[in-house]
Structure 1
Amino acid sequence: MHDDNGFDPDEQPATRREMVGAYVRRSKRKQGVGIRKAFVQQGGRGRHARPGPLAKLVRNSDHIALNAYLFARMLGSSDPWDVQLDSGVWVRALNLDDRHPTAARSLVSKALRRLEDDKLITRTRIGRKSVVSLKHESGNGDTYTQITGERDDPYLQIPLCYWTNDWHRRLTLPGLAMLLIALDAERQFWLPADDVHKWYGVSASTANRGYADLEANGLLDSKYCKVRNDLSADGLERRLMRRLIGDVAKPARRPKLEKIVADVETAANLPAVPRLRAV
């Protein structure tokens, strides 16, 4: 079969997953998408902790806006930290192409407007394309800057497989919320649902649904462990520990080189090697 110009017809159009994968490659990211921890929690741990912008998105059941933000953050990988896309790309990437085209474009526009109202992005237009410019993840309205990774600029990292393996379509909003919170935690963590509400502003019921969603999708493992507790009768306490597994597993932290050298010196009974101070 040929078209009117005598050429073989093009192959089948790219699927949604192929299109999203192409945009991931276009971002030139190799490992993941860094997002400042201020997006999920601000003020540090303990009594000073307060929820970040994630809590409001979850409280308002705004799955579309949350995924739109994460998609923009994935694509905005270099200065000037903006994304220029046709509305049809947003529609397909956010899994809205089963809606009427006009309704789907309206959902995208309204979701981006809510992100703008929350000071996470700004919007302009160039022809048919919307230009989404990133703002600081805390929602304080500051201009976005490169993440440094220093102690005063901590971040979590979303694996690229969140997009390439269709997790943005498969996870519920509670599952996505708890994925982001778990990525903010240690590799093995203890975080009861009540503490999720206290520290991250996500309700205990939502947290439990999110944990269940991650477990059902093979992304979370849970088991009870005994840990030391000086105040208990037997000096131990049972805690339900969790860790991300599968596509989103966090790698084991590598010990610092200086600690390895010190351990070797101690084992060999060698004099300590003077450390050079970086300048």
Structure 2
Amino acid sequence: MKTTTVAMQDVQKNEATGRDTRAAILKRSIRANVPLRKTFVQANKGGDSRHGPLRDFVTGRDLRGLRAYLMIVAACSNGDKGWTTEHDSAVWARLMDIHETATSQSARTGAWRALRRLADRTLIECSRSGTKIKVTLLREDGTGKPYDRPKGETEEDRFLQIPTTFWTQGRDEKLSLPGLALFLVVARENEKDWASFPGDKADEWYGWSADTHERGLKQLVELGLVQKKPFKRKAPLAPAGFTIAHKYQRAPITKPRKAPVKKTAASATA
């Protein structure tokens, strides 16, 4: 009996985990950071609503779908295969960690259903043939337009960046849905050193409650993924003439990484 237990442990050690699978996809994409248009998080000013597609994940409590979508962006946005990636449904299930709590067949089914939800939101197109599932990335704003790599040259084309270490070091695995959503909100303001994210504006700006907003920020600070500092806000009707509010910025471990400088033949010789 003891021999069987040891043998099973050895087998499990050699099985790929969800993190292993995510790391392999990121390694294949050959990048230091993953670009994501800011309009996924929040629409630009001037429209009927500031809500981006991210709102539907939060209000629909779809953490699995959000994690899967971000990995699809990571896998497809290098453009090597025309914004498309294809894997066995078991690989998709492992990518989403579904295999940890479901049988093999149930995990495959769960992966397909999660991808179909993304297709219903017009963020991807997906099809399957046998056990293979093919996914093609669409534009992040949910309009269903074909995807193209953002270059940041126009307001509609501005993007945030997520370092690949966010996944390879397992930081995504620790976040709840509010935490992951607020991580994207804070990352959207990566052009600023510090920014305030008032909870009373959460519904208007992003489409979720102030409570969800505050819980997300609190978790990010507790995990060391975001930094927080207080500041005084003028308040003429307050007893002290001011109130204390807070500003936030990404911690160094979650800021975009600099791509390694490629050595030329001349520099290598020198």
Provide TM-score, normalisation by structure 2: 0.80
Counterpart among 133, 145, 149 of residue 146 in structure 1: 149
**Unpaired runs of 5+ in structure 2?**
1-10, 258-270
Corresponding letter in the other structure for 1:53 = P
1:121-200 to 2 correspondence within 5 Å? Answer: 121-152=124-155, 153-185=157-189, 186-200=192-206
1:224 aligned residue: 230
Q: CA RMSD in A?
A: 2.5
1:95 aligned residue: 97
Instruction: Measure how far apart 1:14 and its partner are.
Output: 3.6
Q: Distance in 2 between matches of 1:85 and 1:226?
A: 52
Q: Distance in 1 between matches of 2:172 and 2:104?
A: 20
Q: Distance in 1 between matches of 2:152 and 2:237?
A: 38
Q: RCO (CA 8 Å, sep 6+): is it higher in 1 or 2?
A: 2
2:44 aligned residue: 43
1:254-265 to 2 correspondence within 5 Å? Answer: none
Are 2:208 and 1:207 equivalent residues in the alignment? no
Q: Distance in 2 between matches of 1:237 and 1:32?
A: 38
Q: In structure 2, do the counterparts of structure 1 residues 198 and 209 end up closer, same or farther at CA, with 3 Å as the change threshold?
A: same
Q: Distance in 2 between matches of 1:83 and 1:231?
A: 56
Cα deviation code 1:49-97 (max 9, x no counterpart)? 5111000111000111111111110000215101111111111121111
SS at match of 2:185: helix
Are 2:241 and 1:243 equivalent residues in the alignment? no
SS at match of 1:33: strand
Contact 2:58-2:181 within 8 A present in 1 as well: yes
Q: Distance in 2 between matches of 1:15 and 1:117?
A: 28
Instruction: Measure how far apart 1:198 and its partner are.
Output: 1.4
1:5 aligned residue: none
1:63 aligned residue: 63
Contact 1:218-1:246 within 8 A present in 2 as well: no
Q: Distance in 1 between matches of 2:35 and 2:256?
A: 14
Q: Distance in 1 between matches of 2:33 and 2:49?
A: 26
Cα deviation code 1:115-157 (max 9, x no counterpart)? 1111000012344221100111111111111212113211111
Between 54-63 and 82-91, the greater mean CA deviation after superposition: 82-91
Contact 1:50-1:200 within 8 A present in 2 as well: yes
Q: Distance in 2 between matches of 1:250 and 1:223?
A: 21
Instruction: Measure how far apart 1:193 and its partner are.
Output: 1.2
Structure 1 runs of 4+ aligned residues shifted over 6 Å read: 230-236
Provide TM-score, normalisation by structure 1: 0.78
Q: Distance in 2 between matches of 1:210 and 1:230?
A: 26
SS at match of 2:99: coil
Q: In structure 2, do the counterparts of structure 1 residues 34 and 171 end up closer, same or farther at CA, with 3 Å as the change threshold?
A: same
Corresponding letter in the other structure for 2:195 = F
